[in-house]
Structures are given as structure tokens and as C-alpha cells.
A and B are shown apart, each in its own frame.
Chain A
Amino acid sequence: MDFGLSEIQEQLRGLARKILDDKVSPASLAAYDEYRAPRFDRELWQTLLEAGLPAAAVAEEYGGMGLGFMELGLFIEELGRSVAPVPVLAHCVSAMLPLQQFAPAGLRERILPAAARGELLLSGDFWTGLSSADPTRLQARDQEGALILDGECAAVPFAREADWLLLPVRRGGATAVVLVDTRDPGVTLTDLQMTHFEPHCRVTLAAVSVPAADVVVASCGEELLAWTRERCAAALCAQQLGAADHALRMAASYTSERQQFGVPIATFQAVGHRMADCYIDVECLRLCAWQALSLLSDQQPATTEVQIAKIWAGDVGHRVSYACQHVHGGTGIDRDYPLWRYCLWLRYNEMALGSSGAQVAALGQRLAAGEGLFS
């Protein structure tokens, strides 16, 4: 039982913080508000790639750092803290990791080194619905060794920017998972307007042919799906942790400066106590999120722990967002002050892959079936 960061973890977090502090500012983020430009800072992305951070959990043989999901999660926490405009969750968590874990050797060697270098951008359709449910909507039929796909994915992050999408498909009674080339003429992308301005598209497939070489798993894709969605949910929790912690620090520092009735408003017990409750909330989220990352990093069963972390991510995100806005007064919602972007991301992380209510229902069903009790 070790809650401390190892030397490598400290270094990785320090490196991420330094790059993000240098390159991300309210001014740089303002360029993407209201979809004025796709929320993707390619220069920052390049710097992060050169530092090796997006490939932290990719094996060294594919050009990664060879570290674990824990280390990738700590990097994602820093992204949450800075609400950085880069596709780490889409590219790394919902595509590179499952490819590394499940794809045949030939496909791994073809895609992963280029993806680790950033020459190929990947995304996956694992971010909607509930982490424990099978959301597969695409239909596949076999035709001369290829799979022909039809159907629609509701919201895929960075689909327009990506070269390849990792998509689960229904194939007869089974689930397959395939890579789809976004330049295929059968692929139609419809840009969505999301609450947090991150690029997302509805992806419509009409008779898209996937050759056997691009099939990641031909059947029994449920395992890949569950494996990936648990990691996506844990990544959202890590991102939520960074965002919530930063919003809280902003509010603590604002209330310590802001004077009313001749004293800092932090000296009013009602304000101090609301911030103390946020502190406890963020600590709970930190412990649950880190536990989920730690277990997943060791390839341990973590369904219960991920569900609990996502319940906290939803509850804490909601409470911290509104408490921090409230103690800021009008300043908190003024777009010239940086808190408002955090509120949008706290909302996105809360809702993606199952809200607290949905996760409570899912965990409750498992408990009623005798699973997930205390050991």
C-alpha cells in the first residue's frame, strides 16, 4: 500500500507540468472558444510527443516509454489541471492502449510506432453510454474476406483530425473491433457542438469495407470493449481530478484576496467551510481515481473500483464546479476569468461514460448479484 509517487512518476508529472505551464494559458485557450478553431493545439501536441508523454504507457518496442497506465493517468490528471487542447484520451486511451493489448502483431507493428510518434492520429468510439454496457451500434457483414460496415457512432472525439478510428461492430451474434480509415468515401463526419468545445463528430458509415488486415479482433470483442471502457472511465476520473483540484485552488486563492466588509471573504466561516467540503471531495476523488489507475495499471480486476471512482468524479465535479463559481460571484462566470472553462470540462467528465446516477444503478445491480462486496 503505497500512496506516494515513485521517482519516475515525480519526473513525469514535473515534465508534464512544465510543458503545460509554458504552453497553455487562458489566452492560448481562448483561440478555441465557440469552435473558432478546432480545439487541437498541434504545436503543444508536438512538444508533448517529443517528450514522450502521450506514449508513456506504450511499450518501448513500439517507441513508447514502457511505463504503465498509472503513469499515463498522472499525465492525464495534469491535462485536466490545464484543460489542455490535445487528444490524449482519444488517441492514447481509446486507441493505442487497446491496440497494444489486443491487436495481432502485424497490425500493432504497422500502427503503434507511427501513432507513438504522432504521425498517425487515432481515436475510438468508447466514450458514450455506460462503461459497463455494450454500446455497439455498427453492423458488419462478411464479404469476400472483408467486413462491410453500416451504421452510426453518436459522438467520436477528434474523428475529423484522426487518421484511423477504432470501432466496435456487431458481426452476427458476436462483437468485432476494427480500424476504419477516416478517408474512406463511405465515412461521413458531421461536426457536433459540444458543451466544452472539444472536436467531436457523428460518424456515419455506409458500406465501408474493412480488409482483414485492419481487423483488431474478429470476434469476442466484448473483452476489448470492457477493458478499454474501464480505462476510458478511469482516464476521465483522472482528468476530472486535475480539473476539480485546479478549480478549487483558484477559488481558495480568489477568496483569500477578495475583500468585502473590509476583510478577505475567506475569513467568513460559511465560505471557508464550503471550500473545506470541496477539499474533502477532491481528496476522495483523488484516492478513488488513483486506486482505479493503480489496479488497472497492474491488470487487476477493477470493475467495482472504476465504478466507484466514476460516481465520485460525477458528484465531486458537480459540487466543486458550482461551489467554486458561487464563491467567485460574477467573476466566476465572466469569460475574461479562466474558471468558466473548468466548469465546462467538469461537466463533460461528469457525464461522459456514465453519470453518477447511471454508475450507482450499475454498481447497485452488481451488488444485488453478490458482486463487489468488501473482502
Chain B
Amino acid sequence: MKIQFTPAQLELRDELRAYFRELMTPELRAECERDMGEGGGPLWRAALAQMGRDGWIGLGWPKEYGGRGLSPLEQFVFVEEVMRAGYPFPFLTTESVGPTLAEHGNAWIREEIVPQILRGELLISIGYSEPGAGTDLASLRTSAVRDGDDWVINGQKMWTSLAHFCDYTWLAVRTDPDAPKKHKGISMFLVPNSDPGWSCTPVHTLGGVRTNATFYDNIRVSDDHRVGELNGGWKLITSQLNRERLSLINFGPVSELFNQVVHWARAAIGDDGQPVAAQSWVQANLARSRALIECMKLIVYKQSWAMTAGTLGMADASAAKVFGSEGFIEVYRLLGEIVAEAGLLRSHSPGAQEQAGRIERLYRTASIITFGGGANEIQRDIISAAGLWMPRASR
């Protein structure tokens, strides 16, 4: 037991921090701000390819998959730093779908797709939810039907975030409509978003972020595009979601925001002529936020360590997701109270302040992850069953 970074890990963190300070030019920062913090622009793409060329994206991936062979903890430090720098990193591609493809993909996927991911040149959106299949994902109806050597895919997906600038969709489809249990008739495909049968319409959200409805109209793909076993997709979905749950609670940006709010509160003078940070309620909000974020940090570090040791449990991945997603909301509220009415000004408004403007937006976007990536109710079900061995009601 040693809950401290090694000198080599601290050195890596410092190296990454310096690297991203240089990478995040004012022009790139402005482009990311314009794209609502989700990327997709030309400078954003160039920066991602730069990271790929410099060998950072697969830092913690095994060497046989083309990575640098460090552990998931080093990989997490990389993602923490890139996101702390304010770069909207496409972690769904690199941290959750990518490793699942490397582990379960066929030769074409491992030799063609995975190297492009590690070079920062290929992006993947996730097609799980449908109009009628959300929390009960296994009831999905998008289908793939065998036709000779090919598959023909038809259906509709919802909340296909980032799909409008991604190259492929990691698509869950029904391949056996007669399976006795509905989650046993699902397979995974990698579908090219460039196919003429693929289309997408935007869905605009409270947070300003765009997501999509995507449509799959007689898309014909070869069997190479199928990932993992036929009708064995559910295992891949849960494995991908466990990785996603960890990536969702990256605390790099929120710890940076916290530090900035402390600096601001120490410098800004309130109505009483004293620094904002001199007020006892402000100090209490800061301390509560600090204690919450510290736990997010420890939870993700422990899980990165558990992934290295091969002991990552379902209950702990779900605990991280619940704690992190609800923790973010609490922290944004506590810090938002400190910046006060300035936190009501959108970042492009006259008079907007940098941190306060960011909190204004974060407060609007934060609700996504309490239901995205698996509703927190389902996570709590998993925790009481897998973590405490409590029986649960059949659904």
C-alpha cells in the first residue's frame, strides 16, 4: 500500500503538463470553446494527430496492440492531463471502444482500425440507445440480417454523440430475434458513417452540446465489420461501459477549475471590501468541494490500479460512476455559489468572466452523466447486488 505517485509517474505528469501547455494554442482553445467543448474542428483534429504521432494516445496500451506498454494508471494520468489542459479528448474512442476493439477485434480491426485510433486519425461514435431502448438496452431493435457473406443493417439510434464528425459507429444490433433471453441475441458491428445508407440529424441539448439521432438504411457490410462472437455482443457492451464509466469521471478539469476558483476568490474583493475567500461560507464551500474532488481522484486512481492488477469489479466501476456524476453536480453548485451572479452570464456575454462562464455551462451539461452511460439507478442496483450480495427483484 502506497497511495502516492512514484517519482517516474510524477515526472510523466510534469512532462505531459508541459506538453499540453504548448499544444493548447490560443487558436485551438478558441476553436474548442466555439465547439462547446466537444471538439471536431480542424485544429482539434490536427492536435489529436500530433498526440498520436508523439505516441501519447496508446501510452498505457499493451505493446502487442501498438501501445507503449505502461499501465492503465499512466494512461489515466495522460487523459487527466489532456483534459485538464482544456482539450476535449475523444475518450470514448480511445479509452473505452478502442481497447475493446483491440481485445476482441478480428485481424482487419486490429491491423487497420486500431492503429488509426492510436495515430489519432479515426473516431468512433457509440450506437446503443434507441427511441424504445434506453435503460433497458437489451430491448434494442436495430437489426443485422445475414445476406450471403454480408450483413444488412436497418434501424435507428438515439443520442449518438459526436457521430457527425466520427468515422465509424460502434453499433449494437439484434442478430437473433428469437433468442430466449433478449440480451443473448445482440451482436456488435463497426459501421462506416460514410456509407450512403447512414444519416444523422442533430439533437440540441440544454447544455448547448449537440448530440444526434442516427439512421441505418440497408447498410451492407462484410462480416469483417462484426466484432466478437455472433450473439455475444452483450459482454462487449458491458465491458465497454465499465471502461466508459471510469473515463466519465476524469477529475482533471474539475480539479483545475477548483484551483482557479480558489485563486479568484482570494483575489476578488466582495461587497464588504474583503476578499471573497474571507467569508466563512465561501471557505466551507471550498472545503466541501476539495473533499469531494479528492475522493473522485482516489476512486479513479484505485480503479486504474485495479485494472492493472486485473481486479476491477463491477460494483466499484458503478460506485465510481454514481459518486463521480453526482459529485460533479454538487461541486459545480458549490463553486457556482462562490462566483455568484457572474455564473449566470454565458461565456460570450459582455462582462463574462472565464471561470464563472465555464461554471455557467458546466452546470447545464452536468446532468448528462447521471443517466448517460447507464442510469445511476441501474448502477445502484449493480452495487447492492455485486458489492453487497443483496438479492434483487426480477425485472
Check if B384 is an interface residue, CB within 8 A of chain A.
Answer: yes
Q: Which residue of B has the minimal Cβ distance to A360? A: B287
A291, A298, A311: residue with the most chain B Cβ atoms closer than 10 Å: A291
Query: Told that A3-B1, A362-B287, A374-B255 touch, could you supply 10 new A-B pairs with CB distance under 8 A?
Result: A2-B2, A3-B301, A6-B1, A267-B392, A269-B377, A269-B393, A276-B381, A291-B3, A308-B290, A364-B287
Interface string of A287-312 (1 = CB under 8 A from B): 11011011100101000110110011
Interface string of B70-84 (1 = CB under 8 A from A): 000100000000000
Q: Which residue of A has the minimal Cβ distance to B281? A: A364
List A247-272 residues whose CB lies under 8 Å from chain B: 248-249, 252, 255-256, 263-264, 266-269, 272
Q: Which residue of B has the minimal Cβ distance to A362? A: B287
Determine the chain B residues whose CB is within 8 A of the CB of A248 once the complex forms: 388
Check if B291 is an interface residue, CB within 8 A of chain A.
Answer: yes
CB-based contact A368/B1 at 8 Å: no
Return the contact of B284 from the options A4, A256, A305, A364 (Cβ within 8 A): A364
CB distance from B1 to the nearest CB of A (A): 6
CB-based contact A1/B322 at 8 Å: no
CB-based contact B391/A256 at 8 Å: yes
CB-based contact B266/A5 at 8 Å: no
CB distance from B18 to the nearest CB of A (A): 15
On whether A361 and B389 interact (CB within 8 A), knowing A283-B316, A287-B302, A370-B262, the answer reads: no
Determine the chain A residues whose CB is within 8 A of the CB of B391 once the complex forms: 256, 264, 266-267
CB-based contact A368/B278 at 8 Å: yes
Check if B89 is an interface residue, CB within 8 A of chain A.
Answer: no
CB distance from B376 to the nearest CB of A (A): 9
CB distance from B75 to the nearest CB of A (A): 13
Return the contact of B384 from the options A275, A295, A364 (Cβ within 8 A): A275
Check if B288 is an interface residue, CB within 8 A of chain A.
Answer: yes
**What would be 30 A-B contacts, judged by CB atoms less than 8 Å apart?**
A1-B9, A1-B73, A1-B304, A2-B2, A3-B1, A3-B305, A5-B1, A248-B388, A256-B389, A266-B384, A266-B390, A267-B391, A267-B393, A272-B390, A273-B377, A275-B383, A279-B383, A290-B3, A294-B1, A294-B2, A305-B294, A360-B291, A361-B287, A362-B287, A364-B282, A367-B277, A368-B282, A370-B266, A374-B255, A374-B258
Chain B residues with CB under 8 Å of chain A are 1-6, 9, 73, 255-256, 258-259, 262, 265-266, 275, 277-278, 280, 282-288, 290-291, 293-295, 298-299, 301-302, 304-306, 309, 315-316, 319, 322-323, 377, 379-381, 383-385, 387-393
CB distance from A264 to the nearest CB of B (A): 5
CB distance from B371 to the nearest CB of A (A): 15
Size of the A side of the interface (Cβ < 8 Å), in residues, is 56
Give the CA-CA distance A375 to B389 in the complex, in Å. Answer: 38
B304, B306, B383: residue with the most chain A Cβ atoms closer than 10 Å: B383
CB-based contact A280/B3 at 8 Å: no
Determine the chain B residues whose CB is within 8 A of the CB of A3 once the complex forms: 1, 3, 301-302, 305-306
List A1-30 residues whose CB lies under 8 Å from chain B: 1-6, 9
Determine the chain B residues whose CB is within 8 A of the CB of A305 once the complex forms: 294
A249, A288, A373, A374: residue with the most chain B Cβ atoms closer than 10 Å: A374
Return the contact of B287 from the options A263, A269, A272, A363 (Cβ within 8 A): A363
On whether A70 and B4 interact (CB within 8 A), knowing A279-B315, A284-B299, A363-B290, the answer reads: no
CB distance from B78 to the nearest CB of A (A): 14
Q: Which residue of B has the minimal Cβ distance to A71? A: B1
Determine the chain B residues whose CB is within 8 A of the CB of A249 once the complex forms: 388
CB-based contact A360/B323 at 8 Å: no
Give the CA-CA distance A5 to B295 in the complex, in Å. Answer: 20
On whether A295 and B4 interact (CB within 8 A), knowing A275-B384, A279-B319, the answer reads: yes
Give the CA-CA distance A311 to B390 in the complex, in Å. Answer: 29
Q: Which residue of B has the minimal Cβ distance to A292? A: B3
Return the contact of A4 from the options B6, B309, B316, B384 (Cβ within 8 A): B309
CB distance from B66 to the nearest CB of A (A): 25
List A103-129 residues whose CB lies under 8 Å from chain B: none
Give the CA-CA distance A44 to B216 in the complex, in Å. Answer: 70
CB-based contact A2/B305 at 8 Å: yes
CB distance from A274 to the nearest CB of B (A): 9
